[in-house]
Structure 1
Amino acid sequence: MASDRQMKRFQWVLLFGIVVVAISLRPAVASVSPVLETIRADLGLSYTALSLLTTIPILCMGAFALTVPAITDRVGRERGVFWGIVLITVATGIRLGSRHVLVLFGSTLLVGIGIAVTQSLLPSLVTEYLPGRESFATGVYTASLTVGAALAGGVTAPIGDLVGSWPAALAVWAVLAAIGVPLWYLSWRWAVRRKPASDDGGDRVRLPWRNRWAIVLTLFFGSSSTMFFVVLAWLAPRYVALGWGASHAGMLLSAFVVAQLGGNLAVSAVGDRLSDQRPLFALMLFSVIGGATGVVIAPQFVPWIWAVLLGIGTGGLFTLGLTLPVIYAAGPTATDGLASMILGGGYFIAAIGPAAAGVLLDVTGGYTAAFGGLAFLSVVLLAVSMRFEPGRETVTVQVSERSGRDRV
């Protein structure tokens, strides 16, 4: 009985640490969009160059999702998260000097590395320390990401107006990350000392890059993720260009992010009850189609509804995308392999969206092509998602000699 109580106590302490860290992972990216037009006017940058402020962190997410085993072997998961959040704190603080272009983009690269390392390691910590509570912990983790992004989207522009400095408005989020550094250290150290002994001799897998079905799943996750990052990067600037104030547009961005939580929770609530999740994929994609079409055709009519539709759709698709490795995997080792491929390759694909939207803005001078492209992409993904029937083919991967072969 005492052992059970100790187990639950250390799990709650570690979960608290994960929440604190997760809240700190999105502000450095989400804070840029509300002041993007201000940055453009101040530094004279093109939309293509500005898109790199979102694209660089996403590329880092993809790169470091593929290097998790190496990081774990070198410093361990817990220390990796600690140094990741330290890097986020320092890099975000450096943004105080962002009126210099090199400082702005250099800090963005460092922020991206910190976010990527931390984000890549947290899911495996959930699996290791919270067995039997993975779904609950993943839901809490996802909600914490949303809280951080919504906070940054809604508060950055007002902070900038208050202090009269957009670099200060970006740098202030270092405070939130700094709070997470000691809290994570204390919760991690406390939990590790009380962690029950376990066999951590996990197998390594070769990612199934040559399997067509694995490639389809990766392309789907990457394409659905790119829709979120396009909206995150360009929704607020779209409405600033229509005459909205930066603070007002930032609140619209916050509505989009909060609506994502609704999509996450909706899928989590009913997903396990459905043997066939294709209706959920269709519902979320139609939500994105409706929101993107509204932003193109009638942006000023009911903009809050368009933002909510985009948020629900992209949020639900993200959660559904995370289930793909589980659905098409036969065991934990196989799940790790397919998940690494889907997340790593998917984020590389997702990085294309914000950059492509920036190029379209420079070429066309408007936002119609960018948001119209989201609606078109959603139609394509809708057709692809109809292939996600239960009992679909699996993907074979190679694992270490300790366990032979596993299937996903």
Structure 2
Amino acid sequence: MRKVGKKSTLAGVIFAILLVALNLRPAISSIGPMLEPIRADLSLTNGQVSLLTAVPVLCMGLFAPFAIVFNRRFGFKRSIGFLLAIIGLFTLGRGLWPSYFNLLLSSFFIGIAIAIIGPMLSAMIKRDFPNRTASLIGVYSFGMGLGATLAAGFTSVVYAASGWPAGLAIWSGLALAALIVWLRTAEPKSDLDGQVVPESTLIIARSPWKNLKAWYMLLFFGFQSAFFFSMLTWLAPIAIDKGLSVLAAGAVVTVMTAVQIVCNISVPLLFSRYPNRFHWVLAVLSFGTVGILLLMFAGTWSVWLAAALIGVALGGLFPIALLLPLDATDSADEANSWAAMTQSGGYLISAFMPFIIGVIYDNTGNHDISLWLFLSFVFFMILFAYLLNRKA
């Protein structure tokens, strides 16, 4: 088995991780800007079209545990390569067969692929970069955020030129690029120092489902994910209620996601100097809390600042949530099991939160309760981060 000894090879592996991460959001986030054109063109109800974004997130919760099966049977390289091909084929199929059935079918299989890749990518980072997990998780989370932002922004541009089927299908090219790079550069079972990990030393981990700490991580991941998806869905309507135009409200969301992307990669780079995760949770959530309070009590001028502050919180929380299972485990297989559990339960929690907020808004006509609900997310994240810190 060949060792990883050259910096150029390491850079290739890191680039491959970045490209894989880039593909974990575009198939979902590209649907959002196209919901109305799809609904009108295919004569769908709002309920039907909403399933196109709900199904992938639900699959991300239901199928994440299969990452353990895929890794043990096929290994990281073959599994992730196969799942990238699934994402690319079903994304391309949206343009070739633009029917509601195919859109729903593609959402289902793409959601499964994303669900399985997520924990496996975390586990691979644990295995290959045991001394720099925080930095590589930063690359991973940066890639996901960048992919989501690119798809949300450029899908509309392609739609204006060629229609919504092309706007959705174009992201298959990103999956193809990632697949080529992944198969050419991904190195099996090697850490940053070039040491080879024999197959016989890979420990088959015990299930984390009976471990209280794993449950704390699951709930932390769930509330940070609920915070992210709820803000992504409802920040623009909240901004409109505060007096902004539809165009300005969309720009507010762009500000939030841009700040989030910067923090996705910059915050983890500081973990080696300031390693205490609980202190980081308190720090980034202090920004988010101020942002929520501005939305609750300040005027229209505050929306832009609030979006930036919330972006800091979202950008810092996600890499922390990804790192917690890696901090608590000793092997890649164990990290895969813990990451699969936390992401499975966490995404199931978050899948329903934007819908619940929508129901609340339908019944109250304002976002007052929604904003208090966001503050409750902050409270619960601090609570579970404290419990994890205390148990450490």
- The two structures have a TM-score, normalised by structure 1, of 0.80
Aligned to 1:185: 183
Aligned to 1:172: 170
Aligned to 1:398: none
Aligned to 1:124: 123
Query: 1:4-403 maps to which residues of 2 (within 5 A)?
Result: 6-39=5-38, 43-46=43-46, 49-96=48-95, 100-163=99-162, 165-188=163-186, 191=187, 197-201=196-200, 202-236=202-236, 244=245, 250-274=250-274, 276-295=276-295, 300-329=300-329, 335-364=335-364, 367-389=367-389, 392-393=390-391
Per-residue deviation, residues 344-378 of structure 1 (Å, max 9, x unmatched): 32222222223323443554555554444223322
Q: 1:37 and 1:365 mapped to 2: Cα distance?
A: 22
Pair 1:196–1:113, CA change in 2 (3 A)? same
**1:240 CA displacement:** 7.3
Q: 1:99 and 1:132 mapped to 2: Cα distance?
A: 46
Are the aligned partners of 2:60 and 2:114 in contact in 1 as well (CA < 8 Å)? yes
Aligned length: 385
Give 5+ residue unaligned stretches, structure 1. Answer: 395-408
Are the aligned partners of 1:64 and 1:120 in contact in 2 as well (CA < 8 Å)? no
SS of structure 2 residue aligned to 1:220:
helix
SS of structure 2 residue aligned to 1:78:
helix
Q: 2:262 and 2:225 mapped to 1: Cα distance?
A: 17
The alignment yields a C-alpha RMSD, in angstroms, of 3.4
Pair 1:335–1:96, CA change in 2 (3 A)? closer
Are the aligned partners of 2:134 and 2:323 in contact in 1 as well (CA < 8 Å)? no
Are the aligned partners of 2:87 and 2:113 in contact in 1 as well (CA < 8 Å)? yes
Pair 1:378–1:54, CA change in 2 (3 A)? farther
Q: 1:160 and 1:130 mapped to 2: Cα distance?
A: 40
Q: Which moved more, 1:294-303 or 1:338-347?
A: 294-303
Q: 1:94 and 1:365 mapped to 2: Cα distance?
A: 39
Pair 1:186–1:333, CA change in 2 (3 A)? closer
Equivalent position amino acid for 1:227 in 2 = F
SS of structure 2 residue aligned to 1:205:
coil
Give 5+ residue unaligned stretches, structure 2. Answer: none
Are the aligned partners of 2:94 and 2:106 in contact in 1 as well (CA < 8 Å)? yes
Q: 1:341 and 1:21 mapped to 2: Cα distance?
A: 21
SS of structure 2 residue aligned to 1:204:
coil
Q: 1:185 and 1:358 mapped to 2: Cα distance?
A: 42
SS of structure 1 residue aligned to 2:63:
helix
Pair 1:371–1:106, CA change in 2 (3 A)? farther
Pair 1:55–1:172, CA change in 2 (3 A)? same
Q: 2:363 and 2:44 mapped to 1: Cα distance?
A: 16
Per-residue deviation, residues 285-316 of structure 1 (Å, max 9, x unmatched): 23333334444566843433222222211121
Per-residue deviation, residues 49-74 of structure 1 (Å, max 9, x unmatched): 55433332223223333122211233
Q: 1:11 and 1:316 mapped to 2: Cα distance?
A: 25
**1:33 CA displacement:** 2.8
Q: 1:177 and 1:18 mapped to 2: Cα distance?
A: 12
Q: Which moved more, 1:113-122 or 1:85-94?
A: 113-122
Pair 1:299–1:388, CA change in 2 (3 A)? farther
Equivalent position amino acid for 2:203 in 1 = D
Q: 1:5 and 1:122 mapped to 2: Cα distance?
A: 18
**1:217 CA displacement:** 2.7
Pair 1:53–1:69, CA change in 2 (3 A)? same
- Give 4+ residue runs of structure 1 displaced > 6 Å after superposition: 193-196, 240-243, 330-333
SS of structure 2 residue aligned to 1:319:
helix
- The two structures have a TM-score, normalised by structure 2, of 0.83
Are the aligned partners of 2:213 and 2:388 in contact in 1 as well (CA < 8 Å)? no
Q: Which moved more, 1:355-364 or 1:210-219?
A: 355-364
Same amino acid, percent of matched pairs: 29
Per-residue deviation, residues 167-188 of structure 1 (Å, max 9, x unmatched): 3322222222222222222223
Per-residue deviation, residues 105-163 of structure 1 (Å, max 9, x unmatched): 22211221222232232222333334544333222222222221221222222332343
Equivalent position amino acid for 1:360 in 2 = I
Per-residue deviation, residues 175-230 of structure 1 (Å, max 9, x unmatched): 22222222222223xx4599874312322223232444432332122111111122
